Structure 1
Amino acid sequence: MSAAEGSDNEGLLTIDELASAVGMTVRTTRYYATLGLIPQPIRRGRIAYYDEGHKARLEMVRALQDHGFTLQAIEGYMGGLPAEITVDELVLRRAMLIPWAPQAREELSKAKLEALAGRKLTASDLETLVAMRAIEASGRSWVPQPAFRIGIDLLGLDIPLDSIVSAGEAIHEHISVLARELTAIMKTQVLEPFRSGQHTPEEARAFEETVARLRQLTVEAVVVEFQRTANDLITGSLVRPAAGDA
């Protein structure tokens, strides 16, 4: 390769380098390319190269996968992106897709689910785990959710399962409201102000890392605040009213 050719290819990636950069196999990367999830490569003679735009689109595909989107849904979403969309815009869109608690979606047979749980699971156990949102039914398979280990531990407690499910429903109801409010704040007060300015792809990627860290700290803050409030309620219930305060 001549010095001129090396300069022309600066910043470009081969299919192997692109796959490695996004954490995919070359086979999967090629398959996604055939589906049109990324544009045609840049040709330099017989060699195909890929740039930051290709990489950003594949990273978007990974983010959608992490959220449980089917391949068909991903094709629809990617097909709806503007052809002229920039790398920094792709990065910012992906920032809103960063999972609050990343977990790869994996469908397991009952035997593999029991192996993961470390115990046998009866039909009643499975129904309870579904009700607790610890697992999700998917045809004849099961998909563990972030609360899977908690659900398994709760099954081992000698308390009525109905009370566990009721507590889970209360948590889900209030957390759903909180999640909507926090997501709206993140979008309107963090993402959109940043989006309104001009930024380089590097600045957008740094912002994406900031959003990921902010979400982690937000989850920790929610846990700490719940613990503080619960402790205050317990302490308050133990304080005896003074004489004449009844």
Structure 2
Amino acid sequence: MSAVSVVDADRDPEGTGLRTIDELATAAGLTVRTTRYYASLGLLPPPARRGRMAWYDDTHLARLEMIRALQGHGFSLQAVEGFLSSLPEDAGVEELAVQRAMLTSWTVGAPQEFSRRQLDQHAGRRLSDDEIALIEELGMVHRSGDEGAERFTPVHGFDVAVALLDLDIPVSGMRLAGEAISHHMSALAGDLTVILRDEVIEPWRREQNHSRDEAAQLEGTLARLRQLTLDAIVSAFRRSANDVIARSLHRR
């Protein structure tokens, strides 16, 4: 990452938007220790210097907000580090806001990791080894750790998978349904992401000199758009299901 230009030693930084490490940490909602740790990993560009004082600008704050947002959506620090290293060295506040909005637009919260006992509590009943294996096969829970000290991370849809286990339907049917849903949802998510980028993000990006408030407004708009999109998907599926039923009745 390129260094921020050095502040003139004779210039008073007050009023320029620059912050000390303490002020930066407070603005980002982090401790100074955590902020220094992120900086030591290279997640922040070097600060500006005025004598022996280090000063941080809005770009530093935007990067910290990016880290917090991505971690809050379940991304590991290693994944965040890899992503930040791929950004242009001169990426500013606006670009960071756009990237953060794109990455978090469809995600809906950080996943939780459970022990086996906690997983049963989360499911509301005791799950057998075979049931957990099936839910894992359906992609609704991820397993990690060594045998005897395994950890389980349910993903969205875990509760649905548990409810399906209580129905008297063939396991083969559950597998086929899971494969169909996964296939079509992956394709749909890809198409919607392209539309979001081309029709919403890129036009916004072409407008110059957005403020931090405007960047925050964009992120809020995308969060609302996410919910409306999910509602539209459910409604569209219901319409399609009704069309299938209507065609079936017509043929009969």
TM superposition score normalised by structure 1: 0.82
Q: Deviations over 1:20-76 (max 9, x none)?
A: 544545543332122221234556788765432122101222343345443223223
Contact 1:67-1:99 at 8 Å conserved across structures: no
Which one-letter code corresponds to 2:206 in the other structure? S
Which one-letter code corresponds to 2:181 in the other structure? I
| Structure 1: unaligned runs, 5 residues or longer | 242-246
Paired with 2:32 and 2:114, the residues of 1 have a C-alpha distance of 25
Distance 1:25 1:142, change over 3 A: farther
Structure 1 residue 94: Cα displacement: 1.1
Structure 1 residue 128: Cα displacement: 1.2
Q: Deviations over 1:139-178 (max 9, x none)?
A: 3221110111112222222222221221111111111111
Distance 1:41 1:125, change over 3 A: same
Corresponding residue for 2:132?
126
Corresponding residue for 2:173?
163
Contact 2:141-2:154 at 8 Å conserved across structures: yes
Contact 2:144-2:151 at 8 Å conserved across structures: yes
Paired with 2:93 and 2:222, the residues of 1 have a C-alpha distance of 17
Corresponding residue for 2:231?
220
Q: Deviations over 1:83-139 (max 9, x none)?
A: 322101111111111141412133222122112112111111111111222111223
Contact 1:106-1:143 at 8 Å conserved across structures: yes
Q: Choose from 147, 164, 177 the match for 1:154.
A: 164
Paired with 1:93 and 1:214, the residues of 2 have a C-alpha distance of 16
Q: Is the deviation greater in 37-46 or in 131-140?
A: 37-46
Number of aligned positions between the proteins: 237
Q: Deviations over 1:193-245 (max 9, x none)?
A: 2212213233233222222222221111111110121123224434575xxxx
Corresponding residue for 1:105?
111
Which one-letter code corresponds to 1:79 in the other structure? S
Which one-letter code corresponds to 1:208 in the other structure? E
Paired with 1:75 and 1:214, the residues of 2 have a C-alpha distance of 28
Contact 2:74-2:109 at 8 Å conserved across structures: no
Distance 1:124 1:17, change over 3 A: farther
Q: Choose from 88, 104, 108 the match for 2:94.
A: 88
CA RMSD for the aligned pairs?
A: 2.8
Corresponding residue for 1:230?
241
TM superposition score normalised by structure 2: 0.80
Paired with 1:200 and 1:99, the residues of 2 have a C-alpha distance of 19
The DSSP-based 3-state class of the residue aligned with 1:97 is helix
Corresponding residue for 1:244?
none
Distance 1:47 1:180, change over 3 A: same
Distance 1:46 1:148, change over 3 A: farther
Query: Structure 2 matches for 1:59-98, cutoff 5 A?
Result: 59-66=65-72, 68-98=74-104
Corresponding residue for 1:193?
203
